[in-house]
Amino acid sequence: MKKNLSIVLTSAMALSMFSSVAFGKTSSDFADLSQLDASTKAKFDAMISTGIFDGMTATTFGLKSPMNRAQFAKVAAMILDLPINTSLRVSSYTDVSIYDQANGYALPYIEALKTAGITNGFSDGAYNPAGQVTKEELATFLVRILGKEAEAGNKTLTDGSVSNWAKGYVALALNLKLLPETIGAFEGQMPATRELLVTGAYEAKQQYIPGKIALVSAQAVGASKVKVWFNQTVDKTKASLTLSKGTLNVPVTVTWSDDGKWATLLTSSPISEGDYTTAITGLDGSTVSRNEVYFRAQAEQVTEINFINPEETIANSTAATIRVKALNQYGETASLGTSGYTAIVAGSAPADFKKDEWGNLVIIANIKEANSSQMKDYIPVTVYVNNSKLSTSRSFKVGNAPVLSFIEPNKITYSNMKNRLIDVGDKASISLNLFDQYGNPIFKKQFDQNEVTSKSLTPVVSPENPNLEIVKAGTSLGTTDLFDENGNARFEVRLTAKPLNESTHKITIYNEAAHATVSVDVY
């Protein structure tokens, strides 16, 4: 449960949340609080009058009632002074709805916690708003308010009623008098009552030292990305962030938010499963109440796999293209290589199986080999994720021979490493994406096999410049001119004489069915 709640709350508490105000309800408005002693009533007044807590009814507080996750979301969001978007009507969780009469009120608070990285819900996309918060989770919450997680890590507890992960937190919460001592077992997995949360939060406030910078939370938000939150703006010119797994330092590239309240850490390779520590250094230690946080990361997993061909028809070709996108648990294109998948086309392995520059899986299938009838027969294709039950299947209709129907310029690379042509012999290479009539990529092999119709490509330079020539072996742009040694489509222009003036030229490459235009600068 600890990992699902991800209750990473620190000393980032606004004191105003606990101070009394002159308006609103007090403990005297609730019948079940009438027997409390004066000291305890003062604690309740501090929480009730600010609106952090409501009664169960107009006259009943629900002193001994368990707190559910919806109620907890509101309390946590208000204590942390998170921005609340009360206009939200739809939740990112499958089981949170404004139409839920019991817990719908908590939708904006739940979303605020998620935005701040404080909760992820459960792996199935649910939040379980009616679920109860346990006593050991409450102990964790209170300890982290004070930024004492590291201290909790050094504590031990022999109480078998407390989960192993929570023993340090419970031991420290009891030592600090955040929770009352119990006779016998603590019963950490029993529901926490509203009374415990009110008095515990109040006691934590008494020990809270305001005004200091604290790491609030950290979590993996991508296969190679960690997001870190702070309770207030951090001086980005002084602060440094590190990521480690045990004793192993993990090199990261840090990008700060404009307001200095959060940062992203990008690793050079996917994060492996395990426990991580994020730490901040470079600041005056007296201004920091919590300089590190801990989180657990999952190894990247493929959670979704789909065909992304624009149509369900593929060209009748020796190198027909079928594209598949695999997504990980973060909604990113999965980094898993082709060795982690198995592709089957009409019962056999494809002619080639690779990844494109966007990370999509690309199946190259010899459709002609099947002797299928054009526009009549279908070819079954299945892709499996190895060591998983995940797969996707589709039957593609066999179309006509590929026709070069769309040309997309990709990028321009200058041989002089500048952004323009300057000296005699300088070249500009314009990479191209070529597509057939079904929206699928065309490759060099299809040109080599003379399968592609409308393949004659003509580049035109405008305005004309006698010192700017298209690089080609003969009088026309041939296949060897159109593809590099790796089979990537491109054409080149070369400067043959020193230019007298600065100029920009539009170069259009076209055939009977398609064209594309790029600009090349000369100086």
What the block records as the tokens of 27 is 């403990």
Domain hosting 282: range is 213-297
Q: What is the CATH number of the domain that holds 468?
A: 2.60.40.10
Write down the pLDDT at residue 39.
75
What count of Cα atoms within 13 Å lies in the side-chain half-sphere of residue 288?
17
- pLDDT of 14 over the 60 cut: no
Specify whether 265 is located in the same domain as 378: no
Final residue of a domain: which of 207, 223, 257?
207
How much is the pTM?
Answer: 0.65
Mean pLDDT confidence for 392-402: 96
How far is it, in rounded angstroms, from Cα 390 to Cα 273?
A: 20
What's the length of the chain? 523
The answer to whether residues 202 and 18 touch, using CB atoms and an 8 Å cutoff, is yes
DSSP helix/strand/coil, 322: strand
DSSP helix/strand/coil, 354: strand
Query: What kind and span of H or E run contains 225?
Result: strand 225-230
How far is it, in rounded angstroms, from Cα 514 to Cα 434?
A: 10
Count of structural domains within the chain: 4
What the block records as the tokens of 168 is 């340090």
The answer to whether residues 67 and 191 touch, using CB atoms and an 8 Å cutoff, is yes
The answer to whether residues 218 and 117 touch, using CB atoms and an 8 Å cutoff, is yes
pLDDT per position as a tens digit, 210-223: 678 888 778 898 99
What the block records as the tokens of 219 is 């979590």
pLDDT per position as a tens digit, 444-496: 999 999 998 767 788 899 998 889 999 987 777 888 888 998 889 999 999 99
Query: How does the average pLDDT of the chain come out, rounded?
Result: 87
Residue with tokens 């006779």: 183
How far is it, in rounded angstroms, from Cα 482 to Cα 489?
A: 6
Specify whether 27 is located in the same domain as 168: yes
State how far the alpha carbon of 421 is from the alpha carbons of 96, 297, 411, 493, 523, in Å: 58, 48, 15, 10, 6
The answer to whether residues 365 and 339 touch, using CB atoms and an 8 Å cutoff, is no
The answer to whether residues 384 and 340 touch, using CB atoms and an 8 Å cutoff, is no
Specify whether 82 is located in the same domain as 172: yes
Specify whether 111 is located in the same domain as 223: no
Specify whether 317 is located in the same domain as 286: no
pLDDT per position as a tens digit, 62-116: 999 988 889 888 877 877 667 788 888 889 899 999 999 999 999 999 988 777 6
Specify whether 153 is located in the same domain as 42: yes
According to the 3-state scheme, what is the secondary structure of 138-183? HHHHHHHHCCCHHHHHCCCCCCCCCCHHHHHHHHHHHHCCCCCCCC
CB neighbour class for 8 (10 Å; exposed up to 12, middle 13-18, buried from 19):
buried
Specify whether 30 is located in the same domain as 96: yes
Specify whether 62 is located in the same domain as 189: yes
Specify whether 91 is located in the same domain as 25: yes
Sheet holding 378-385, edge to edge: 313-314, 391-398, 378-385, 341-345
What count of Cα atoms within 13 Å lies in the side-chain half-sphere of residue 109?
19
Final residue of a domain: which of 246, 268, 297?
297
